[in-house]
Structure 1
């Protein structure tokens, strides 16, 4: 089971909670219903761009399992939101992550674009011995 640690400031609004849920799903934790993605959604990430709801879901299904996730910050405003923190996967070590999520409207019902970054982190406060 994945250990998830959240900053107490993250889920302080329904839209922030939605951004966090999507970010966790992009890390392989939780569900991302097809209806949450517009048909033409695009996911820009290391290795290239993935276009379309079906391709994004297929990519999510192949993600390596996470051991620990620490969500440090979730922010939403208008048609966009970001979630960032630290993720640990077996064999990959500790990495910083950031997901920038752009919705089709300010209601945040469907994702139009995701831009994801990961970077090998320095001191992160997550143990590697689990």
Structure 2
């Protein structure tokens, strides 16, 4: 099971809290939760500028790229309108990498994700 540390800064912003939960589900490849949040024909960019179309293909690419981290720490979750960003650190064994997801919400309600881009160090 992956240990999760939240930013602690999303108490007054449901959109920021949602973005934070989406990022956690993405890095842990929580397909069950993401089935509710990623639209079926979502677009993911996980390596360079290559677009991956479809929820299942996007989850497969993430899983291949990130594996199953031992720990996830969220540093910030920021949203505005139909866009959000979440950054943090993944730890697997003794290896730590930074990541950032830029999320495109389907609507300003921010209850589903139309596209996302992953940056990692």
**So what's the TM-score if we normalise by structure 2?**
0.83
Q: 1:33 matched to which residue of 2?
A: 34
Structure 1 residue 44 and structure 2 residue 8: aligned? no
Structure 1 residue 87 and structure 2 residue 111: aligned? no
Q: CA RMSD in A?
A: 2.1
Matches within 5 A, 1:104-123: 104-119=106-121
Structure showing greater Rg: 1
> Which structure is higher in helix share?
2
Runs of at least 5 residues in structure 2 that lack an aligned partner in the other structure? none
**So what's the TM-score if we normalise by structure 1?**
0.78
Aligned length: 118
Kept after mapping to 2: 8 A contact 1:65/1:90: no
> Among residues 70, 73, 86, which one is paired with 1:70 in the alignment?
73
